[in-house]
C-alpha cells in the first residue's frame, strides 16, 4: 500500500490565519491573491506566469500543478509565488523577487502581509 506524502502550509499571520493548505508530493501550487471569480483549480496561468513555472519547476513535474492557494492578502499578485514538493526537494519561489528558498519542516514563508509555517 502506497502512502501519499504532503507538505503542509499553515497561515500564522495575515488575513487567513489558521488556514492550512497541503501540497502533495511531486506537485506544485501557486500562491495568489484571491479575486472575485477565481476558482483555485481552474485558473490558467498567463504566458508570463507559465514561463516562470518552466524556469523553476523540473520538466517531469510541470504538468503536476495543484489548485492555487488563494489568500485574502491585497498585497499579493495573482501569481505571487509557488511551492514545489518532491521526494528530492521542497522549494518556495517568490516570483516578485525571483528568490528561491529550500524548505524544511518548521520554516516560515513570508509574502505580502501573510506568513505560512511549513510542517
Residue 1: pLDDT band (50, 70, 90) is very low
According to DSSP, the β-strands at 69-71 and 27-33 are parallel
How far is residue 76 from each of residues 52, 89, 106, measured CA to CA in Å?
16, 25, 23
List all residues 6 or more positions away from 15 whose beta carbon is below 8 Å from its beta carbon.
71, 72, 73, 113, 114
Rounded Cα distance between 93 and 107, Å, is 14
pLDDT tens-digit readout, 18-65: 999 999 999 999 999 988 877 766 777 888 888 988 899 999 999 999
Rounded Cα distance between 30 and 81, Å, is 6
pLDDT tens-digit readout, 65-99: 999 999 999 999 988 999 999 988 899 999 988 88
| 11 beta partners | 116
pTM: 0.88
- Domain 6-118 is found in CATH 3.40.50.11540: no
Instruction: Find out whether 115 and 18 touch, Cβ atoms under 8 Å.
Output: no
**Helices assigned H by DSSP within 1-119:** 47-56
- Domain ranges for the chain: 6-118
Amino acid at each position: 500500500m502506497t502512502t501519499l506524502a504532503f507538505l503542509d502550509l499553515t497561515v500564522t499571520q495575515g488575513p487567513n490565519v489558521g488556514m492550512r493548505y497541503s501540497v502533495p508530493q511531486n506537485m506544485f501550487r501557486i500562491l495568489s491573491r484571491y479575486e472575485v471569480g477565481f476558482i483555485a483549480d481552474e485558473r490558467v496561468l498567463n504566458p508570463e506566469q507559465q514561463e516562470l513555472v518552466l524556469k523553476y519547476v523540473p520538466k517531469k513535474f510541470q504538468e503536476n500543478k495543484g489548485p492555487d492557494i488563494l489568500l485574502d492578502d491585497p498585497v499579493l499578485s495573482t501569481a505571487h509565488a509557488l511551492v514545489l514538493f518532491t521526494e528530492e526537494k521542497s522549494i518556495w519561489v517568490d516570483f516578485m523577487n525571483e528568490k528561491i528558498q529550500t524548505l524544511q519542516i518548521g520554516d516560515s514563508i513570508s509574502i505580502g502581509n501573510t506568513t505560512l509555517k511549513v510542517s
